Amino acid sequence: MFPRVKQVRYLGDYRLELGFADGVVGELDFEARVVGRGGVFAPLEDVDFFKQVQVDPEAGTIVWPNGVDLCPDVLYSQVTGKPIRSEREAQTATSRPKRARQRVPANSSVVQPL
């Protein structure tokens, strides 16, 4: 399971405190992600609009009234400093340990039984 945002708290300017389902809490500054980007991010440059951020419980991330949302996996990675793991990597990490493979030298003549 990938961590999802459960709480958001506006701290001031473009800073938010995010709380995740696994208990991790951290602060992020969104100024560089918002200011000067234009498009759907333009309304977020207004701090009064920016602080209207909420948690979308279905998506497990933060969202603004104009529909802008951010990937919760990226947010978690930025808060924790941990790299984003793919779904396959996550499944591998939680599945049974892999059996060790026997290495065969490239110049070896191993014959496989039929």
Report the CATH number that the domain containing residue 35 is assigned in CATH: 3.30.2020.10
Task: Please state the pTM of the whole predicted model.
Answer: 0.74
Residues 103 and 26: their CA atoms lie apart, in Å, by 44
| 45 domain residue, yes or no | yes
The predicted-structure confidence for 13-59, as pLDDT tens digits, reads as follows: 999 999 999 999 999 999 999 999 999 999 999 999 999 999 999 99
The predicted-structure confidence for 77-110, as pLDDT tens digits, reads as follows: 999 999 987 655 655 555 555 554 455 455 544 4
Total count of domains within the chain: 1
Residue corresponding to tokens 């200011």: 35
111 CB-near residues (< 8 Å, 6+ apart): none
Angstrom distances, CA of residue 101 to CA of 73, 87, 104, 108? 32, 24, 9, 16
| 105 domain residue, yes or no | no
